[in-house]
Amino acid sequence: MAGNAISFTQARTDDTAQRLLFKIAISLGALNPRLDDTAQRLTWKIVGMIFSAGSNPRFAPRLDDTWQRLLWKWASLLFVSHGGSAGQQPRLDDTAQRLLVKIAGLLGLPCSCSPSEAQRLLYDIATALQPTPAPGPGPSPTPCALPLAPVDLGASAGDGYVYLLWPFGVGATGYNVKRSLVSGGPYTIIGTVIANPFVAYTDFTAVNGTTYYYVMSSTNACGESINDTVESHATPLASFSYTPATAVINWIDSGGVHNGDLAVFNADPDRLTTTSITATSLGITAVTGLQSLTALNSLVCSTNALTTIDVSACLALNHLDCSTNDLTVLAVNTLLNSLVTNGQIGGSCNCASQAPAASPSVGPPNGIVAKAALLLAGWTVTTD
């Protein structure tokens, strides 16, 4: 099998430039190179293989990059990792052929060909990167090779958890899941996973409202991969909640018009597309968890017993009626300041008829200034 693999990646002088790029991608362990891939797509896979979490984001490969730009990113990553002379510094205005000369030079290859001989340059690079043939018959120790980190990592958040998904890392038998509270680390290992063709991990220690940054490394009997995956982040958010939970509300989302109690609402598959909520005269005392309803633009919760209402993350909200409740002056001040911070131009807010009366005050926070700012932004604001 080893001999066949080496033969398959063996560079030939009569190979086309596209076929040589395919063999380079195979030699580097790039993700799923195909013989019918274009030269641009093969180069994108090669750059993706050598790009790591610590690399300059400018050098991250993009599918819409030109072949010349992908060669510049390849050469730039080599220049950073291998070092080079001033003459080997990749330039964005370098031609593709000149960038290939610089890639060959940064790999330590003596190249006497001219910059116009792209096929010959790729042949030299492919020859230098092809696997070393297996030794002949006889006892010989099997070299221990570190695994490669997965080429991607996806993170998605739910209520009280973050779900991670990543593809198989070449040579991996396991993975270390790492997390940080700041982008770029330092990271702490929070879990380990046994390798499968497609692997996932759920972080149930995540706290709602906190952004977490994740990377992944591969492991095997030889140790841990030199690099981690690219960083991915997510912020778990609470499901919408109100008190009492048995009250019936009406809402509108992409699936149509609905009504039901809290459990029915939070189980609705279109919940995150909710644009309008009406919950009046239900004895509700608090409305929280609206962070997950980023499409919400109308909230009517008048004639209840509200003492708490949080709309700080409702960036699309432009109609709010929380009149005839039990909001305090501080609650009204905080509410008006949240609407100012959210930045909607034009809207309506009715928070009058609180028991006892709660007119905006100088705070802090300053409700009088917030009300004036909303009026200047085209809002209609009604208060005690």
pLDDT tens, 105-133?
777 776 555 555 677 777 777 777 766 55
Summarize the confidence of residues 186-201 as an average pLDDT: 85
* Residues forming a β-bridge with 250: 259, 278
Which of 204 and 19 is assigned the larger pLDDT? 204
> What percent of the chain has a predicted confidence (pLDDT) above 90?
28
Q: What is the pLDDT of residue 3?
A: 40
pLDDT tens, 26-44?
877 788 888 888 888 888 8
pLDDT tens, 131-183?
655 555 656 666 788 988 888 888 888 788 898 888 888 888 899 999 999 99
Q: How confident is the model at residue 188 (pLDDT cuts 50, 70, 90)?
A: very high
Q: What is the pLDDT of residue 111?
A: 59
Q: What is the pLDDT of residue 77?
A: 85
Q: Cα separation of 353 and 345, whole Å?
A: 25
Q: 189: which DSSP letter?
A: E
Which range, of 1-5, 133-137, 348-352, averages the lowest pLDDT? 1-5
**What's the pTM value of the predicted model, to 2 decimals?**
0.45
pLDDT at 24 > cutoff 70 = yes
**Contact at 8 Å (CB) between 363 and 328?**
no
**Contact at 8 Å (CB) between 349 and 377?**
no
pLDDT at 7 > cutoff 60 = no
Q: What is the pLDDT of residue 351?
A: 95
Of 26-30, 61-65, 315-319, which one has max mean pLDDT? Answer: 315-319
In three-state secondary structure terms, 174 is strand
Q: What is the pLDDT of residue 130?
A: 67
Q: Cα separation of 202 and 181, whole Å?
A: 17
Average model confidence (pLDDT) for the chain? 83
The domain limits of the chain are 2-129, 154-234, 241-382
Q: What is the pLDDT of residue 6?
A: 42
Q: Cα separation of 207 and 347, whole Å?
A: 33
The DSSP code sequence of 367-381 is HHHHHHHHHHTTEEE
Going by CATH, does the domain composed of 241-382 fall within 3.80.10?
Answer: yes
Distance from CA of residue 197 to its chain's centroid?
22
Architecture of domain 154-234: Sandwich (2.60)
Summarize the confidence of residues 183-209 as an average pLDDT: 87
Q: Cα separation of 354 and 34, whole Å?
A: 68
